[in-house]
Amino acid sequence: MNRGPSWFNIVSMVVGFAFLYLPIVLLVIYSFNAGRNVAVWEGWSTRWYVELMSNDQLLAAAWVTIRVALLSATIATILGTMAALALVRGGLFYGRSLFSGMVYAPLVMPDVITGLSLLLLFVAVGFSRGFWTITMAHITFSMCFVAVVVQSRLISFDKSLEEAAMDLGAPPMKAFFAVTLPIIAPAVAAGWMLAFTLSLDDLVIASFTTGPGATTLPIKIYSAVRLGVSPEINAVCTILIGIVTIGVIAASLSMKRKEVRRRRDERMAAAANAA
Amino acid sequence: MANEEAIRISELTGEPMPGGRETDLRARSRLSSRLGRLGLIGVPYLWLLILFLLPFVIVLKISFSDITIAMPPYTPVFDWADGVSGNLAKVKEFTLQNYGFLASDALYYLSYLSSLKIAAISTVLTLLIGFPLAYGMARSPREWRPLLVMLVILPFWTSFLIRVYAWMGILSREGLLNQFLIWLGVIDPANPLVILSTNTAVYIGIVYSYLPFMVLPLYATLEKLDETLLEAAADLGCPPWKAFWQITVPLAIPGVIAGCFLVFIPAVGEFVIPDLLGGSQTLMIGRTLWTEFFNNRDWPISSAIAVVLLLILVIPIVYFQNQQARLQESEK
C-alpha cells in the first residue's frame, strides 16, 4: 500500500507546525518594529538592537550566562558521558538502580523542587551563592540529559569493535579514546549542545541558586517581562533565537556530512577488500 | 575509561586479562582497570548523591523546622556540633506544624488540586494536537522525515522563557490575536477577547511549550509501525478508520504513555507559564512555592510544599523511570 500522507495528515502537520512557529516568527518580526508600542506596526527599524548594545546591565548578564553555560555544559558532558558508560558498560555494581534512578529523575523533576533543594544544600554547607552555585546546579541537571543521549548511542553501537582493539593489545584507556569515543562523538557533541542550551535557558533553578552579583540573562529577561511586552526584550529574544537556530542547523549539517563521508569510506574499504 | 570493559571480559571468561600469563605488569594493569572502573562509576555517582539526593534530605529536614527571623530563616533541626545525644533530643522538637498548616489553609490544597487539573487537561490537549502531527510525520515520505523531526526539535532548543513570552504579545487585550480578529471583523473592537491572565492562556502556554515532548515519543512509535498490518486489514475489508482505531492506536500506546508522562509531570510543578500567562486566580503549586519562598521568605513552608509535591509526583516519576529503564534494556 504505502500511500503517501493523506489530506488529513498534511492539514494536521500544517496546523501543528504553524502553531509551533507562528508565535516565534511574530516575536522576531515585532523586534524590528520602529515604535515603542509593540502592538502597533510602525515600520521596520533596527533601533532596539542599537539600544541593546548600550545596555550594560543586560550585556553583563549575558556574559555571566555564557560563562556559566560553557563551563557547566563541559563538565556536565564529562560527568554525563561517564554516567552513561557506567550504566551501559559498568556491569552490575552496588546501588546501580539508585544510580539509574538519580540519572532519570532530574529529567522530569519540577524545576522549583530542584532549585529549592539545591539552594537549601548550599545554605546548609555555607557556600556563598553566585556564579559557582549556579554552575554546580546546572551541571547537576544537565549531566542527566547528556547521560541519556550518550546512553542511547552506546547501546546501539557494536561492542566488538572495542573488544577487537583490546584483543590487539590496546590498553582499555587507549581503546576508549581511539575507538569508543570517535563512535559516540556525535552523541557527546549533541549532549554538550543540549547541556549548553539548557543552561542558557534556565530561569527557575538559577533564581534559587544565584546570589548577589550573578544575574543571568533569563533572570534579567524575566524581571523585565513581568512588566509587560517591550521591544528591547523582543530584540534580545530574537538574538538568542538566531544563535540557537544557527548553532543547531550548523551542527546537524556537519553531522550529516560526516555521516555521508563515513559511509563512503566504508564502501571504499569494502570495495578494496573485494578487489 | 573503557578499563571496566577489560575487567568485565576477564570476569566473564573467568580468565586473566587478555594476553595469557598474569605477570606483574598484568596485575598492575588489572589494578588500574579496577580503579578506572571505580572512578568511572564513582565520580558521577558521588556527584548525584551530593547534589541530587542529599538536597532532598535537607528539604525534608527543614520541612520539620520552625520558621525564625534570621538568616537562614529556620531553626536547624540537626547540628553536627550537638553530637548524637543532642540530636536525639532535637528529634523530639520535630514539628509537624508546617504540614498541619498546609492541610488547614485552603490555598495550599486548592493549589495542588488545581495544578493536577490544569496539568491533566493540558496533557489531553497536547495529545489531541500532538497525535495528528506525529501521525502525519510518520506517514510522510521517508526523505522528509529528518527535516520534520528537526522542525519539531528546533523550538525545544529555543528558550522556554522566550516562547512563553511570545504568547504574551499575542494574547493580551491589544495583542496580535485581538487585532487580527478585529481586522477580520469577527469581534467588536470595544470588546476584545480576554485571554491573557486567565487559565485559558495557561493551557495554551503548556500545550505550546510541551508539544515537542509529546510528538517525539509518539513519532518514534508510529514510525516503527508495521505497515503490512494495515495492508492486511485493508485486504480483509477493514475500513481505514477502523484499522486506525484497532491497529494504529493500540500499537502507539507506549508512545502515548511516554509522551503523557513527559508533559504531565513537569506541568504539575510549572512556574513560568502560570506566572506570566495566568492571572491572580490561577493557582498552581509551583507558583505558590515560589511566592512562599521569595515573597514571604518562609523556607520551612516552602520545603513542606516541595515534599508534598514530590510525594504526589513520586508514583508517576518512578513509573516513568521504570519505563525508561525497560526501554533501554529492550534496545540492548
**pLDDT per residue as tens digits for the range B220-264:** 999 888 888 888 888 888 888 888 888 888 888 888 988 998 899
Q: How far apart are CA B79 and CA B86, in angstroms?
A: 8
How does the average pLDDT of chain B come out, rounded?
81
Q: What is the pTM of this model?
A: 0.83
B41–chain A Cβ distance below 8 A for any pair: yes
Measured over the CA atoms of residue A143, residue A149, residue A153 and residue A154, the dihedral's sign is positive
pLDDT reading at A165 higher than 60: yes
Which DSSP category does B77 fall into?
A: S
**Average of per-residue pLDDT across B85-92:** 56
Domains, in order of start, for chain A: 58-262 (1.10.3720.10)
* Residue A262, min C-alpha distance to chain B (Å): 19
Q: How far apart are CA B137 and CA B263, in angstroms?
A: 20
Q: What type of residue is B222?
A: L
Of B4, B132, B268, the CB nearest to A110: B268
For the CA atoms of chain B, what is the radius of gyration? 27
B140–chain A Cβ distance below 8 A for any pair: yes
CB distance A155–B18 less than 8 Å?
Answer: no
B15–chain A Cβ distance below 8 A for any pair: no
Cα(first)–Cα(last) distance of chain B, in Å?
21
Residue numbers in B near A2 (CB within 8 A): 227
CB distance B161–A218 less than 8 Å?
Answer: yes
- Residues facing residue A33 across a β-bridge: A44
User: Which pLDDT band, with edges at 50, 70 and 90, does A115 fall under?
Assistant: very high
The pLDDT score that the predictor gives to residue B259 is 92
Nearest residue of chain B to residue A248 (CA atoms): B154
The pLDDT score that the predictor gives to residue A262 is 76
Question: What are the grid coordinates assigned to B21, written together?
Answer: 600469563
Residue numbers in A near B53 (CB within 8 A): 102
**Average of per-residue pLDDT across A209-226:** 88
B47–chain A Cβ distance below 8 A for any pair: yes
- How does pLDDT run across B291-300, given as a tens digit for each residue? 989 988 888 8
B98-331 to CATH, choices 3.30.1360.70, 1.10.3720.10, 3.40.640.10, 1.10.357.20: 1.10.3720.10
B272–chain A Cβ distance below 8 A for any pair: yes
Measured over the CA atoms of residue B277, residue B278, residue B284 and residue B289, the dihedral's sign is positive
* Residue B290, min C-alpha distance to chain A (Å): 7
The residue among B1, B79, B305 with the most chain A CBs within 10 A of its CB, best to mutate, is: B1
Question: What are the grid coordinates assigned to B195, written together?
Answer: 485571554
> Is residue B183 within 8 Å of B142, Cβ to Cβ?
no
CB distance B136–A10 less than 8 Å?
Answer: yes
CB distance A203–B272 less than 8 Å?
Answer: yes
pLDDT reading at B2 higher than 50: no
Nearest residue of chain B to residue A231 (CA atoms): B169
* Residue A117, min C-alpha distance to chain B (Å): 5
Of B18, B55, B294, the CB nearest to A166: B18
In 3D, which of B45, B261, B271, B58 has the Cα closest to residue A143? B45
The pLDDT score that the predictor gives to residue A179 is 84
In 3D, which of A224, A219, A226, A223 has the Cα closest to residue A202? A219
Residue numbers in A near B58 (CB within 8 A): 117, 120-121, 124
Prediction ipTM score? 0.85
User: Which pLDDT band, with edges at 50, 70 and 90, does A83 fall under?
Assistant: very high
B28–chain A Cβ distance below 8 A for any pair: no
The pLDDT score that the predictor gives to residue A43 is 79
Planar angle of CA B28, B34, B37, nearest 5 degrees: 140
Q: Which residues, 6+ apart, have CB-to-CB distance to A151 below 8 Å?
A: A84, A87, A88, B328
Q: What type of residue is B206?
A: I
The two counts, helices (H) then strands (E), for chain B are 16, 0
The pLDDT score that the predictor gives to residue A1 is 41
CB pairs under 8 A between A and B: 300
In order, the DSSP letters of B92-159 are: TT---HHHHHHHH-HHHHHHHHHHHHHHHHHHHHHHHHHHHHHHHHHHS-TTTHHHHHHHHHHHHHS-
Question: What are the grid coordinates assigned to B180, written together?
Answer: 487580527
> Is residue B282 within 8 Å of B274, Cβ to Cβ?
yes
Share above pLDDT 90 across residues of chain B, in percent, rounded to a whole number? 28
Annotated domain spans of chain B = 3-91, 98-331
